[in-house]
Structure 1
Amino acid sequence: MAFLTNFYVFLFYFAAFVLVAGLARKIIQYARTPAPLKIPTTPAPTTGRGVVFRMMREVVLFESLFRGNKWTWIFGWMFHFGLLLVTLRHLRYFIEPVWFPIQLVQPFGIYGGIAMVVGLAGLWARRFLVDRVKYITSTSDHLILGLLVAIGCTGLLMKFVFHVDVVEIKHFFQGLYSYDIEPLPADPLLLLHLFLVAMLMIIFPYSKLLHAPGLFFSPTRNQVDNPREQRHIAPWARKLERS
């Protein structure tokens, strides 16, 4: 019991460090990458406010994906919205007292877990059934999708089939904050679920999942379409021009 608890304490401290440090490094890299050309995807907004609204539609509604492929949009939106509900539901393990909005979302988080797995199944199926998608699919794509499906399925199994002591789980994670370590329940399904989550945290900053923060730095989305009104010069080009 003590060995398992200490192992998962180390695992989650390490995973949290890799996730935060890796994301910070990539975001800084994205921010410093020059955009030498004005390349917003048309029709594009011509004002800064329009860019903000466009980014909001892209983040919340997946606007460009909706225009590109309706089936991919359906499964993609199901997965991401389900993941949001699941994440909000899981916040109860990290805060005390539990905020009222988090209490309200608890029953919806269960349906979010189901939607998450169904959406992932659809996205994974298209990588086998659609030839042009199958051609560009790599082994890492299958591994990431498999990891996400396994996380969702083990979570649903703990909810509907093999119940675990959620109070002890909450004590364990709250103890990580204060370095007051509480024993972790030695439930095999729980241990598998937590191990998979930690693996996801570790690989996140080095995988295609970086499209989440990367979207905000995409010049095709975050640029104002005003090349006639204002000349676009990258910072490094401006320095060369002055010299």
Structure 2
Amino acid sequence: REVVFFESLFKGSKWSWLFGWLFHFGMLIVLAQHFRYFTQPVWSWVVMIQWVGSYASFAMFAGLAGLWARRVLVDRIRYISAPSDHLMLALLLAIAGSGLVMKHSSHTDIVSLKAFSLGLVSFDWQPLPADAPLLVHLSLVIILMLIFPFSKLLHAPGVFFSPTRNMRDNPREHRHVASWAKELPDRTSSTDGA
């Protein structure tokens, strides 16, 4: 439930939950929609979600804008925010914004872009369309891919490896003692008469 619905975030902050969910769900749909550039023939489920893509891209952008506004406007969040937090949000907003510009105003040559993308996958190099918004978009995505493994954006695996998510929460019913600690003398009872 945590991975899909962000349950602990919902309990903590409704605005953070709303903006975070808008961003992550929008990004999931947008990334899935991008499979159409790398597959031929396009998978049927990718074709079925194409109509949702425009709405998802706006949801992604709105979620990012809301998360950044929260980082700037809420005092305690602003206090703990590092410059890298703002730069990551700016980078993601620039990627989403350049994608929206390509979709709704500059209208990149999709046929040439698909030929280029399929050429990347099959090692049959094709020319990249020379649209400025496309070049900006791809450059920003490359920057994101380079810094992603070393940044706070790599928080998804933490959900699976966090002890607070994976351990049982029953310390009052059953005392969990590590195997190496079982060999230590019991210090719970006092023998000095105090």
User: Taking structure 1 as the reference length, what is the TM-score of the superposition?
Assistant: 0.71
Aligned residue for 2:120? 176
Show the counterpart of 1:164.
Answer: 108
Q: Distance in 1 between matches of 2:10 and 2:140?
A: 30
Letter in 2 for 1:150: A
Q: Which residue of 1 aligns with 2:67?
A: 123
Report deviation, 1:210: 1.2
How far apart, in 2, do the equivalents of 1:230 and 1:102 lie? 50
C-alpha contact (below 8 Å) 1:95/1:174 kept by paired residues: yes
Distance change (3 Å), C-alpha of 1:72 and 1:182? same
Distance in 1 (CA, whole Å) between partners of 2:48 and 2:178 is: 49
Change (3 A) 1:156 1:226: same
Q: Distance in 1 between matches of 2:126 and 2:175?
A: 59
Tell me how large the CA RMSD over aligned residues is: 1.8
Matched, 1:72 2:7: no
Determine the structure 2 residue equivalent to 1:12.
none
- Report 1:144-163 matches (<5 A): 144-163=88-107
1:196 partner amino acid: L
Displacement of 1:225 after TM fit? 3.0
> In structure 1, what is the equivalent of residue 192 of structure 2?
none
Alpha-carbon distance between aligned partners in 1 of 2:153 and 2:71, rounded to the nearest angstrom? 16
Partners of 1:87 and 1:118 lie apart in 2 by: 16
Residue 230 of structure 1, CA deviation: 7.1
1:134 to 2:61 alignment: no
Which segments of 5 or more consecutive residues in structure 1 lack a partner in the other structure? 1-56
Counterpart AA for 1:173: S
Among 73, 83, 86, the residue aligned to 2:30: 86
Partner-residue secondary structure (3-state), 1:161: helix
Structure with more relative contact order (C-alpha pairs < 8 Å, separation 6 or more): 1
2:153 counterpart residue number: 209
8 A Cα contact 1:88 1:109, kept in partner: no
User: What code does the residue aligned with 1:96 have?
Assistant: Q
Amino acid in the other structure paired with 1:233: A
Structure 1 ranges of 4+ moved more than 4 A:
226-230
Task: Name the CA distance, whole Å, in 2 between partners of 1:66 and 1:122.
Answer: 15
Q: Where do 5+ consecutive residues of structure 2 fail to align? A: 184-194
d(CA) in 1 for partners of 2:5 and 2:130? 40
User: What's the counterpart of residue 178 of structure 2?
Assistant: 233
Shift of 1:178: 2.0
Report which of the two structures shows the higher radius of gyration computed on alpha carbons. 2
Aligned mates of 1:109, 1:223 — CA distance in 2: 38
Q: Which amino acid aligns with 1:192?
A: V
